[in-house]
Each structure stands twice: as structure tokens, then as C-alpha cells.
Amino acid sequence: MGMRTLFGKLKQKAKLLKNDRELFKIFLLHLLLIALHYYEYRTSKVEYFWYLRAGGCALISFGIFFFGRKGMAYGLLAFSCALVYVNNFYNYATIFFMLIAIGANPKMKKVAPWIYLANVVISFSLKRLDIVAFLIHVVYIYMFKTKISYVFEVNKPKKLNLMDDERAILDELLAGKMQKEIDLYSPQTITAKIKNARERNLCESTSALLAKYALEKENKTPSEQEKILEQQ
């Protein structure tokens, strides 16, 4: 891969990130936290695992830039599991990080709690805590998960965040072509691009993505789109 191609890919990633204003804001806040963690360490000599906290923010920032919402989810899950080993066992912020990861990528809802729980078991064993402490943590996991499911819904993007080549493929599909009839890219590339667009915009299927894209082309507002899609 040449430098020009690499630069082009990085530019595309940056454009996609900037299109998602809230995710871009989260990305910038994590960069700010890296600087603040380091500044606090240099000025006040607070050494409470500052490098782990700054490193966690860096990991999440990296995930967001290269993989978007899904990258943020993986970064948060990894960070929550790492913090379990250094935080006070009665600090439950790690549970929230894990649950936010699930909210960012709902496909993780079945596996993420088990990955987190496995790390809790290992941490519990290393710290030789009483079994009651472990049970309290498990109950908090279930309780917070239930509360968040009860109070919040998945925040789906109001406007589709698509790259130009993804729009070109969707235009072909809207024109009535079958996916195998599109000759813009290889069949494998087309499948991968549609999958990326679908996951980035939290659409459960290609038909759902296509339906929302069609409504956007008709200049329907997000509220109008929601009503029409609910009727379909």
C-alpha cells in the first residue's frame, strides 16, 4: 500500500468520523482526557495508574477513528475489563463502561457481559475477596443492565452516514438492479461495503438501509421517515 493510498484511506476515515458529530465529539473528549491525565501526573505526581487511564482513552480514540461506533464499543469493553484489576472492587464504573459498549454495538449484548464477568472472576481470585463481594458485583451487573434496558433505547443515527461509494451502490439497488448485477466493484467488495454501511447506521438488514436511504433522497425529515418505516 503506497503512501498516497494510505493517506486517502485515512482521509476517508476522518470524513466519516466528522459526519457523525456526536461520535466526533466523543473522540475529541478522549483525546483531551489523555492530555489531562498526563498533565495531572506531571504537575501533581498523582500516579494512580494514570498510564492505564490515558492508555484506555487512547485505545478508545483509536477504535473510534478506524472503526467508528463499533471500535468505540470494543475499546470500552477492553478498558472496562482492564480496570477491574486495578480499581477498588466496589467501584462499579467498569460495569457502566461495559454496558455503554453494548449500547454502541448491540451485537455484543450476548458476549460482552460474559467476557466482563470472566475478568471479574479472575480479579476476584487474585484479590482473594470474600464470595459475598463477588456476588454483590454480579448483582450490580444484572441490576444496572436491567435499569439501562428499561430506561434507554438504542440511539440510532437520525441521518445516514455513508461514503460516496456506498451511496453509488445503494443508487444502483434503488434503480432495480440485483446486487450481483452491479459492476462498480467486485461482488465481495460490494457485500463488504453494504455490510459496513448497515452496521455503521445500525440497520438490521440491507432492505432497512435501502428503505431509509430512499426516504432521505426524497428529502423526508427524520420524524417523517420514522413514521413511514413504522407503517411498512
Q: How far is CA 205 from the centre of its chain?
A: 18
Q: Say how far apart CA 191 and CA 89 lie, in whole Å.
A: 44
All three cell numbers of 107, joined, read: 451485537
The amino acid present at 133, given as its one-letter code, is: A
CB atoms within 10 A of CB 95: 22
pLDDT tens string 94-123 = 999 999 999 889 889 889 999 999 998 898
What per-residue string of b and e applies to 106-136 under the rule 16 or more CB within 10 Å gives b?
eebeeebbebbbebbeebbeeeeeeeeebee
Asked whether 210 and 174 are in contact (CB, 8 A), the reply is yes
| C-alpha distance from residue 143 to each of 13, 95, 117, 118 (Å) | 37, 10, 14, 18
All three cell numbers of 203, joined, read: 440497520
Whether the per-residue pLDDT at 3 is higher than 80: the answer is: no
Q: Say how far apart CA 194 and CA 162 lie, in whole Å.
A: 10
pLDDT of residue 55: 92
- When pLDDT is averaged across residues 9-24 and rounded to a whole number, the result is 84
CB atoms within 10 A of CB 156: 11
Q: How far is CA 62 from the centre of its chain?
A: 12
Whether the per-residue pLDDT at 222 is higher than 60: the answer is: no
Instruction: Work out the angle between the directed axes of helices 3-19 and 50-83 (0-180°, nearest 10).
Output: 70
pLDDT of residue 146: 85
Asked whether 64 and 30 are in contact (CB, 8 A), the reply is yes
pLDDT tens string 35-81 = 999 998 888 876 677 888 899 999 999 999 999 999 999 999 999 99
Q: What is the DSSP letter of 45?
A: -
Whether the per-residue pLDDT at 139 is higher than 80: the answer is: yes
Residue 223's contacts (CB-CB under 8 Å, 6 or more residues apart) are none
